[in-house]
């Protein structure tokens, strides 16, 4: 079945994020207070190894499993949307201790209060869709 591999990838993500405590509100506070290397080490390792992988994929023009070349899309060049959107995101991230991935992992872990956060995130996404034409991008 073609779908199962995506569930598997998500499953691995969920286990990793919870076992490394990256879904923890406390760990996020520790990060924003610069009192532990934990989250920086985690993100740093992911970014360094990921960068090497992306470099190699581009250099050797690696194809995906169907034989199609792996294409990297550049993000649109802009400043306001990234700095303003990013800041708004950060305000909520430190409040709930959860970014979109960990919200769902936490829900599975048994933190049912995360349903309120997920509901809020859906509402926030909807509000963005309604007002996006009026925002600087």
Partner 1 sequence: MLDLLRQPWPWWTSGAAIAFIMVLLLYFGKYFGVSSNLRTICTIAGAGKRVEFFNFNWKAQRWNLLFVLGAVLGGVISSTWLKNDQPLQLSSATVEDLNAIGVSFDGNLNPAQLFGATAIGSVKGIAILLIGGVLVGFGSRYAGGCTSGHAISGLTNMQVPSLIAVIGFFIGGLATTYLILPHLF
User: Is 13 a residue that touches partner 1 (CB under 8 A)?
Assistant: yes
Phi, psi at residue 69, to the nearest 5°?
A: -65, 145
Angle of CA points 75, 76, 80, to nearest 5°: 115
Among residues 59, 60, 61, 88, which is the contact residue for partner 1, using CB under 8 A? 88
Q: Distance (Å, rounded) from C-alpha 73 to C-alpha 61?
A: 15
Q: Scanning residues 103 to 122, which ones bind partner 1 (CB under 8 A)?
A: 103-114, 116-122
3-state secondary structure of 135: coil
Cβ closest to partner 1, residue 11 vs residue 60? 11
Q: Scanning residues 20 to 49, which ones bind partner 1 (CB under 8 A)?
A: 20-33, 35-39, 41-47, 49
3-state secondary structure of 63: strand
Burial (CB count <10 Å: 0-12, 13-18, 19+), residue 31: buried
Minimum distance, C-beta of residue 68 to partner 1, in the bound complex (Å):
6
User: Is 65 a residue that touches partner 1 (CB under 8 A)?
Assistant: yes
Minimum distance, C-beta of residue 19 to partner 1, in the bound complex (Å):
4
User: Is 134 a residue that touches partner 1 (CB under 8 A)?
Assistant: no
User: Is 61 a residue that touches partner 1 (CB under 8 A)?
Assistant: no
């Amino acid at each position: 079945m073609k779908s199962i591999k995506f569930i598997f990838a998500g499953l691995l993500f969920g286990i990793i994020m919870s076992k490394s405590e990256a879904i923890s509100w406390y760990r996020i506070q520790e990060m924003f207070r610069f009192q532990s290397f934990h989250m920086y080490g985690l993100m740093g390792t992911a970014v360094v190894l990921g960068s090497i992988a992306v470099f190699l994929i581009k250099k050797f023009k690696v194809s995906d499993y169907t034989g199609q070349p792996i294409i990297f899309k550049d993000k649109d060049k802009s400043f306001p949307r990234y700095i303003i959107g990013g800041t708004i995101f950060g305000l909520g991230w430190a409040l709930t201790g959860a970014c979109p991935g960990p919200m769902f992992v936490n829900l599975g872990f048994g933190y049912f209060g995360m349903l309120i956060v997920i509901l809020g995130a859906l509402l926030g996404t909807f509000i963005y869709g309604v007002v996006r034409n009026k925002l600087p991008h």
